[in-house]
Amino acid sequence: MKSPQILVPTDFSDSSNNAAEYAWSLAKVMKASLLLYHAYHIPIPTTEMPMMIVSLEQLEKENIDRLHSYRAQLRKKLGNDITIDCIASPGFAVEEIAALVKDKQIDFVIMGISGAGKISQALLGSVTTGVLNEVKVPLLIVPEGAKFRPLTKVGLAYDYQSEISPKIVAELKAVTALFKSKLFIIDVESPKEKVNISKAVSGIKLEQALESIEHTLHFPKNSDIVTGLIEFDENHKVDLLIMIPKRHSLLSRIFNASSTKRMAFHSHTPILALHE
C-alpha cells in the first residue's frame, strides 16, 4: 500500500509558503510525501519592438530551479523527514492541478489563501473555487494566519437536508482516528427555524453513522450561516472545519470576495472540503 501523496500548489507567496509548511507538518503525521507544484505562464510579446525571448527549455529550468531552491529552504527550516518532489509546468493553474491530481493519483491537495489586497483575494478565490469544482480529492484551504497544530477539535458543517454518505463517514473516521479528535457537528439555524420531521430523521441516521466517533451536536442560532460558523469556531477553538461542497452552496459564498474576507481571510481555521 503506497503512502499518501499531498499536492501543494505554490506561487511562492507568503500564503502559499505558509500552506506548504502546514502541509509538511500534516504529512509528517500522516506519513505522507509532498509534491510541490508551480504553474507558470509563457510570456507573449505585446509589442512590435524586438525583444529577447526566453526559450521554453530555459523557462522550465528557471521555474524548476526555483522550486528546488524553495524545497531546500523548507528542509533547512523544518527538517528532512518528508519526501518532497517538485514539478513545474506552463499553463493555467486550475487545469494543470486537476490533470496532475489524476496523472499522479494524488490523495490530498493543500492550498493557501491570503487576505492581502482585493486583487489577490479575487485571484486566489477564483483558483480555489476552480480547484474545488474540478478536483474531487480532499482539498484543504489554509488561511495565511493558520499554523499547524494537532486537530483535536474538528467541526463538520452539516445541514441535515439529506443522509451523509458512507464515503464522507469513512473520511471523518480517518481524520478523527489519526488525531484522536472530538467531532463537533454544527448546524447554524435561523432564529425563526422550526424542527421538521425530515431533519429529525436525518439526525437519527447521522447518529447511527457516527456512533463509533466521539461527537457532539450543536445548533447555534444566527441569521447568517457564515457568521454563525465563525462565532462557533472562535468560541470552541476548532482546529479544522470540514465542509461538503455538494451539500453546501455555502462554500461558494465563502470563496467570493465578501464572504472570504469575513471568514477565510480573517480566520485561523483551515477548511477541509470533502466530496461525496
Residue-wise pLDDT for 115-152, tens only, equals 444 434 444 456 777 888 888 899 998 888 789 989 99
Alpha-carbon dihedral sign for residues 117, 118, 124, 128: positive
3-class SS shares of the chain: helix, strand, coil, % to 5: 45, 20, 40
pLDDT at 154: 95
Give the model confidence (pLDDT) of 21-52 as tens digits: 999 999 999 999 999 999 987 766 555 555 55
Do 20 and 138 sit in the same domain of this protein?
yes
Q: Is residue 59 part of a domain?
A: yes
Its pTM stands at 0.85
Last residue of one domain, picked from the residues 89, 113, 143:
143
For the segment 150-161, the average pLDDT, to the nearest whole number, is: 88
8 A C-beta contact, residue 156 and residue 242: yes
Domain limits at 260? 153-273
Q: Pick the last residue of a domain from 123, 143, 163.
A: 143
pLDDT-derived band at 193 (thresholds 50, 70, 90) equals confident
With both helix axes pointing from N to C terminus, report the angle between 118-134 and 93-103 in degrees, rounded to the nearest 10. Answer: 30
- pLDDT of residue 189 exceeding 80: yes
Say if residues 147 and 22 touch (Cβ distance below 8 Å).
Answer: yes
Domain assignment of residue 148, yes or no: no
250 domain-assigned? yes
Residue 21 counted as domain residue = yes
Domain end: 143, 172, 199, which one? 143
**Is the domain of 138 the same as that of 223?**
no
Angstrom distances, CA of residue 6 to CA of 25, 28, 104, 212, 232: 12, 11, 10, 27, 29
Is residue 93 situated within a structural domain? yes
Residues 170 and 124 in one domain: no
Question: CATH number of the domain that 232 lies in?
Answer: 3.40.50.620
pLDDT score, position 59: 85
Helix pair angle (166-179, 14-30), 10° resolution: 80
For 188, 233, 234, the CA distances from 227, given in Å and listed in that order, are 9, 10, 11
Mean model confidence pLDDT for the chain: 82
pLDDT of residue 262: 45
